Amino acid sequence: MTTHAPVFSRRHKIHFSECDPAGIVFYPQYFVLFNDLIESWIDALLPEGYHGVIGARRVGMPTVHLEVDFKAVSKMGDEVWLSLDVERIGQASLTLAWACTGTDGVVRMSAKQTIVTTSLDTHKAMPIPDDLRRAIEGAAQDAAARAGEN
């Protein structure tokens, strides 16, 4: 089995507001959690962060494809790891793999997301900005190097 280091991850405690009446994560909340994770990741990659890319530069990053597998429940109070990996980086698109994994190592949910960079003025696809591309590629290389050390 290959040791793997995610490109970006953080620990998260499942909150009451993320759960349905059965006390488990209401599935759309995973999309909010992972959008927040991507925003935190870009904040860590670029000095102006996600807000600078979206707000100041007017570069959109909409999801154009999403595949999701729900494998186990997450309940209020559970501690989980939210992680993302870069699967592919193209000219104007990026495919990420997400995982929500319990501290027990059980994958609760996983997904593949394709994001396209767009102009928020024209809503047409545009190349991934060079600095963002370099930062993403660097983060992926760093994760691969960390995995190789284990």
- Residues 107-119 as b/e (b if ≥16 CB within 10 A, e otherwise) read ebbbbbbbbbbbe
pTM reported for the whole predicted model: 0.91
* Class of the CATH-defined domain 8-149: alpha beta
Amino acid (1-letter code) at residue 78? D
Domain edges within the chain: 8-149
The residue that leads in pLDDT, 145 or 15, is 15
pLDDT at 132 over 60: yes
Quote the percentage of the chain above a pLDDT of 70: 96
pLDDT at 72 over 70: yes
Q: What does residue 47 show for φ and ψ, rounded to 5 degrees?
A: -55, -40
pLDDT at 127 over 70: yes
